[in-house]
Amino acid sequence: MNVPKDLRYTKEHEWIRSKQGEVEVGITEYAQGELGDVIFVDLPPVGTKVAAMKTFGSIDAVKTVSDLFAPVAGEIVAVNGSLKDNPALVNQSPYEQGWMVRIRVENPAEVTALLTSDDYEKLLGAHA
Amino acid sequence: MSFVGRSDAERRAMLERIGAATIEDLWGAIPAEFRVAGALPLPPPLAEYEISKRFEADAARNADSGRYACFLGAGIYDHFIPAAVRALTSRSEYATAYTPYQPEVAQGTLQVIFEYQSMIRELTGMEVANASMYDAGTAAAEAAQMAAAAKSRRRVIVSAGLHPHHRQVLATYASAGNFKIVETPLTGGRTDLAAAKAAFGADAAAFLWAQPNFEGIVEDGAVLTEAAHAAGAYSVAVADPIALSVLTPPGAQGADIVVGEGQPLGVPMSYGGPLVGFFAIRKSDVRRLPGRLSGVTADLDGRRGFVLTLQTREQHIRRERATSNICTNQGLMALANTIHLALLGAQGMRDVALQCLERTHYLAARVARVPGVSIAHGAPFFREFVLHLPGPAASFVEHALGANLLAGVPLSRFDRGRPNDLLVAVTEKRTREEMDRYASTLAAWVGSRAAAPAEEAACPR
């Protein structure tokens, strides 16, 4: 299972990439495998304020729907428009082209409190 | 559905299996004070033939549309239903499982739904129609809810031209808190555009209007839609399917959601139900569509097949996040709509609509000549109009029963301030003789009132 070392993670199987006061958010390789073929990603418009661990969107697979949780509080500054026409990017490239939103972080301490790749691998171990 | 009683042997077998000696043993747990002592006070049993005579006699006491010329409308209309509709809807091939989730056993049902959706799309001028809703009222409420979710706004502006019952259903839905209703009035029988614009404000999610409206008047859908869009709100039409075959469909006027009542398409009036709602939208909103959707696809061998589509919208998967908690449809009534529409075709539908229009205007012209009687509104009307009488409408309706006429629906049933207004509907079934009889009966009633003005005081309002 691919769990990149340079990312942070949540218990909800999302990954977080820090970039100068902003974070990019997506779902992990494990999460996309559990969901199966992703057919739609419902994301909020740019400018939406999000609260930590509150729902900001949802992801539809063929037979299930899952909520997306904001890993940290902040404001959505970018949304991956490619997912609209090609939601399968979430399955094909979960850590790169399948990113979902970028959030301008309110409190940087929230980012450092997230799971490290080691923590997340342990969590996956518990699932296995 | 047949009822098959249990034989004594079967009852004994069931009692034995659960360890009860007699049926009294089984009921022994019910406290004595809640038990009926002795035999029920019922009349003695009748033979099958006696029962059928008894019920025929009781049924003959109803003023039904077979023996009375029906000018009732107000949401449910007396259109002709070809015998083929009943014959085909009763075929056992359509009596398949209630829930067509398994395409491998439900191709017939799924194909009918697909064709129904295609016909509703064509009638409404929209891009996607669902598999049907319970009735026009719930469809209108679902439309309000969908618009509120799509716009992230809560205020829904509702024209007073919507059927009063539909407005009540909207109010019931609104009481759950997902949206709030602001009603705007009619002026001269039409939606008051200035009042509607004033009601929009900056946060209206949707504007609901009816085509034609409850008082029979044809609305200017393009203007109403433009006003809704200028306020950033969805334009939602509650449209009559017969009128849609001759009027510009709301979809072509830019409406975002078109709903309506399918009863005029092959469904009997019964006693006001069951009904069937239709629901059509633009493709860009398909993920917010309430209810079911049947789609066409190809199987592994490339053969055409039908399946329920985009089910992640639906409550059984999305659960509390679904936009709607309806994931069923009005299958039998939608089947009747489909067969009726297929039998009539586009030309047949236009013929029916034009006959309704011509007859309605014939009757209106006849009755308007009766002294003291006027057509309430000057605006164009389609199949229905409000007649303003020189006395209580309820009293004329009572009088007209004597001439085997169901003369209309008194508006006092919905608005106590309008005792003299009568809503009159004329379908393609009404003959010249019936309409002439209507006019002469009305003239006689008006004449008798002029002769005995004291009657007024005795009339219930």
pLDDT at residue B18 in the model: 92
pLDDT at residue B230 tops 90? yes
pLDDT at residue B169 tops 90? yes
pLDDT at residue A34 tops 60? yes
B112 to each of B98, B267, B298, B331, how far by Cα in Å?
Answer: 14, 16, 17, 9
pLDDT at residue B405 tops 90? yes
Closest by CA to B305, choosing from B107, B439, B142, is B107
pLDDT grade for B38, boundaries at 50, 70 and 90: confident
What average pLDDT does range B162-169 have in this prediction?
Answer: 98
Interstrand relation of B234-239 and B204-211 (parallel, antiparallel or unpaired): parallel
Tell me the two tokens of residue B377: 């509104």
B49 to each of A73, B2, B55, B61, how far by Cα in Å?
Answer: 77, 18, 10, 19
SS3 label, residue B166: helix
A109 CA to centre of own chain: 18
Closest by CA to A2, choosing from A101, A97, A98, A93, is A93
What average pLDDT does range B349-377 have in this prediction?
Answer: 97
Minimum CA–CA partner of B319 in chain A = A65
Q: What is the mean pLDDT of chain B?
A: 92
Of A24-28, B351-355, B440-444, B452-456, least confident by mean pLDDT is B452-456
Cβ–Cβ gap A58/B321 under 8 Å: yes
| Percentage of chain B exceeding pLDDT 70 | 96
pLDDT at residue B138 in the model: 96
Mutating which of B312, B314, B320 best tests the A interface, going by the most A Cβ atoms within 10 A? B312
pLDDT at residue B94 in the model: 79
Location of structure tokens 């902003």? A22
Q: For residues B235-251, b (16+ Cβ closer than 10 Å) or e, as one string?
A: bbbbbbbbbbbbbebbb
pLDDT at residue B144 tops 60? yes
d(CA B184, CA B299): 51
Tell me the two tokens of residue A102: 């970028």
Contact B384, B212 (CB under 8 A): yes
- In which element (H, E) is residue A18 found? strand A14-19
d(CA A119, CA A114): 9
pLDDT at residue B213 tops 90? yes
Contact B305, B109 (CB under 8 A): no
Cβ–Cβ gap A60/B321 under 8 Å: no
Cβ–Cβ gap B317/A40 under 8 Å: no
pLDDT at residue A1 in the model: 85
Which stretches within B1-106 are classed as H helix? 8-18, 23-27, 48-60, 83-89
pLDDT at residue B459 in the model: 47
Residue A106's identity, in one-letter code, is E
Cβ–Cβ gap A67/B312 under 8 Å: no
pLDDT at residue B387 tops 90? yes
Which stretches within A59-105 are classed as H helix? 82-85, 89-92
Instruction: Report chain B residues whose CB lies below 8 A from the CB of A65.
Output: 312, 317-318, 321
Of A71-80, B32-41, B311-320, B387-396, least confident by mean pLDDT is B311-320
pLDDT at residue B313 tops 90? no
pLDDT at residue B365 tops 50? yes
pLDDT grade for B2, boundaries at 50, 70 and 90: low
Measured from the Cβ of residue B118, the count of other Cβ atoms closer than 10 Å reads 15
Among the partner-chain residues B287, B317, B321, the one whose CB lies closest to the CB of A63 is: B317
Q: For residues A46-85, b (16+ Cβ closer than 10 Å) or e, as one string?
A: eebebebeeebbbbbbeeebbebbbbbbbebeebbeebee
Cβ–Cβ gap A67/B321 under 8 Å: yes
CA distance, residue A68 to nearest chain B CA (Å)? 12
pLDDT at residue B461 in the model: 43
pLDDT at residue B104 in the model: 83
pLDDT at residue B273 tops 70? yes
Tell me the two tokens of residue B245: 């075959």
Q: How many CB pairs under 8 A join A and B?
A: 19
pLDDT at residue B456 tops 70? no
Closest by CA to B332, choosing from B156, B148, B85, is B85
Location of structure tokens 């418009």? A45
pLDDT grade for B119, boundaries at 50, 70 and 90: very high
Mutating which of A41, A62, A64, A65 best tests the B interface, going by the most B Cβ atoms within 10 A? A65
CA distance, residue A116 to nearest chain B CA (Å)? 31
d(CA B102, CA B293): 14
Measured from the Cβ of residue B162, the count of other Cβ atoms closer than 10 Å reads 24
d(CA A94, CA B67): 70
What average pLDDT does range B228-255 have in this prediction?
Answer: 97
Give backbone dihedrals phi and psi of B117, rounded to 5 degrees, phi first.
Answer: -60, -40
How do residues B88-108 score in pLDDT, each as one tens digit? 998 877 766 566 778 888 888
| Percentage of chain B exceeding pLDDT 90 | 77
- In which element (H, E) is residue B448 found? helix B432-451
pLDDT at residue B240 tops 90? yes
Instruction: Report chain B residues whose CB lies below 8 A from the CB of A42.
Output: 287
pLDDT at residue A63 in the model: 81
What average pLDDT does range A70-96 have in this prediction?
Answer: 96
Closest by CA to B221, choosing from B137, B141, B126, B334, is B126
B288 lies within 8 A of chain A by CB: no
pLDDT grade for B319, boundaries at 50, 70 and 90: confident
Q: What is the mean pLDDT of chain A?
A: 94
Which stretches within B274-392 are classed as H helix? 315-318, 331-368
Minimum CA–CA partner of A67 in chain B = B321
B312 lies within 8 A of chain A by CB: yes
What average pLDDT does range B351-379 have in this prediction?
Answer: 97
